[in-house]
Amino acid sequence: MTDLDVQKIIQASHEMKEKAYCPYSKFRVGAALLCQDGTVITGCNVENASYGLTICAERCALTKAVSEGHRRFKAIAISSDLKTSFIVPCGACRQFMVEFGTDWNVYMTKPDDTYKLLKTGELLPLSFVPESLEEERINPKA
35 appears as a binding residue in the annotation: no
3-state secondary structure of 38: coil
50 appears as a binding residue in the annotation: yes
129 appears as a binding residue in the annotation: no
56 appears as a binding residue in the annotation: yes
Rounded to whole angstroms, how far apart are CA atoms 103 and 137? 26
- Catalytic pick from 15, 58, 134, 136? 58
Rounded to whole angstroms, how far apart are CA atoms 57 and 67? 15
With a CB cutoff of 8 Å and minimum separation 6, the contacts of 50 are: none
Burial class (CB in 10 A: 0-12, 13-18, 19+), 13: buried
Q: Pick from 46, 47, 40: which is nearest to 12 by CA? A: 40
127 appears as a binding residue in the annotation: no
60 appears as a binding residue in the annotation: no
CB 75, CB 118: distance < 8 Å: no
Rounded to whole angstroms, how far apart are CA atoms 50 and 31? 22
Query: Is residue 18 annotated as part of the catalytic site, yes or no?
Result: no
Q: Which residues are catalytic?
A: 58
Query: Known binding site for Zn(2+): residues?
Result: 56, 90, 93
Query: Known binding site: residues?
Result: 45-51, 56, 90, 93
Query: Known binding site for substrate: residues?
Result: 45-51
